[in-house]
Chain A
Amino acid sequence: DTVLTQSPGTLSLSPGERATLSCRASQSVDSSYLAWYQQKPGQAPRLVIYGASNRATGIPDRFSGSGSGTDFTLTISRLEPEDFAVYYCQQYGNSLFTFGPGTKVDVK
C-alpha cells in the first residue's frame, strides 16, 4: 500500500505569508490520483486540489498544487485568515485510497 507522509507537521505563519506544504509518497503516484483537502475545526473536509494541480470549484487562485511521482506540493501564495486549517493529501491506487497525516497551518 502507498503511504503518504506530509511535512511539516505544523506550519506557523502570519497572514500574507506564503505557505508551502509537502506530501511525499512511498511509491510513485499517478498525478491524476493526488488530491488535497482543507479541514477547519468542527467542519467536514473540503476538496481544494484534484489531479495534483487542478483547483476545485470555488477555491481561490492563491491555492496551487504541483508535483509528480512521489513528491507533491500545495502552495498558498498569500495566507488569508480563513486559510488557517489542517490540510491533507490523498491518493488513489490499487483500489485503495490513503490520506496523509495532515499539516496544520496555524497563526504565528
Chain B
Amino acid sequence: EVQLVESGGGLVQPGGSLRLSCAASGFIFSSYSMNWVRQAPGKGLEWVSYISGMKSTYYADSVKGRFTISRDNAKNSLYLQINSLRDDDTALYYCARGSMSYFDFWGQGTLVTVSS
C-alpha cells in the first residue's frame, strides 16, 4: 500500500524558514517523480514543485528562488526547504507521487502557518 506521510509544518514568522519532509512507503521510491502541492485555507490547489527520480527539478514561479525541493532515495524521503516565508505561503502542503503528468497518490498534508 502506497503511503505518504508529511511532517515539519508549524507556525513561523514572516521571513523565517522551515523544512518539510515526506516519508514514502509501499512503492519503489526512486522510480517515481515526486511533487509538493499546497492549498491555502479555503482555497484551491496550487502546484509548488517537482523532482524526478533522477533529481531534475521544476518550481512554480511563486516560489522560485525561495523553495528548494530535494529527495533522498536511500531514505525514501522527499523534502521541501522553504525560506523567506511570506503570509501568502500559509497553506496545507501535500506531498504527491507523480505518474507521467498527474498525481496519483497524495499524503494528508502538513500545515504551514506564517504569522507574526
A72 within 8 A of B: no
Pair B101/A99 contact, Cβ less than 8 Å:
no
> Which chain B positions have C-beta within 8 A of A35?
101-103
> Which chain B positions have C-beta within 8 A of A88?
44-45
Interface of A is mostly: strand
Interface hits, B1-56 → A, CB 8 Å: 35, 37, 44-47, 50
Output the least CB separation between A55 and chain B (Å): 12
Pair B102/A99 contact, Cβ less than 8 Å:
no
Chain B interface extent, by class: 20 to 34
Pair A50/B102 contact, Cβ less than 8 Å:
yes
Pair B101/A46 contact, Cβ less than 8 Å:
no
Q: In the assembly, what is the distance between CA of A88 and CA of B58, in Å?
A: 21
Output the least CB separation between B50 and chain A (Å): 7
Closest to B48 in A: A97
Indicate whether A99 sits within 8 Å of B104 (C-beta atoms), given known contacts A44-B94, A44-B109.
no
Q: In the assembly, what is the distance between CA of A17 and CA of B34, in Å?
A: 37
Pair A101/B44 contact, Cβ less than 8 Å:
yes
Pair B35/A99 contact, Cβ less than 8 Å:
no
Indicate whether A45 sits within 8 Å of B101 (C-beta atoms), given known contacts A96-B58, A97-B35.
no
Q: In the assembly, what is the distance between CA of A39 and CA of B47, in Å?
A: 15
Q: In the assembly, what is the distance between CA of A88 and CA of B103, in Å?
A: 12
Residue from B37, B45, B100, B102 having most chain A Cβ neighbours under 10 A: B102
Q: Give 6 pairs: A residue, B residue, CB < 8 Å, sorted on A.
A: A37-B45, A50-B104, A95-B50, A96-B60, A97-B47, A100-B44
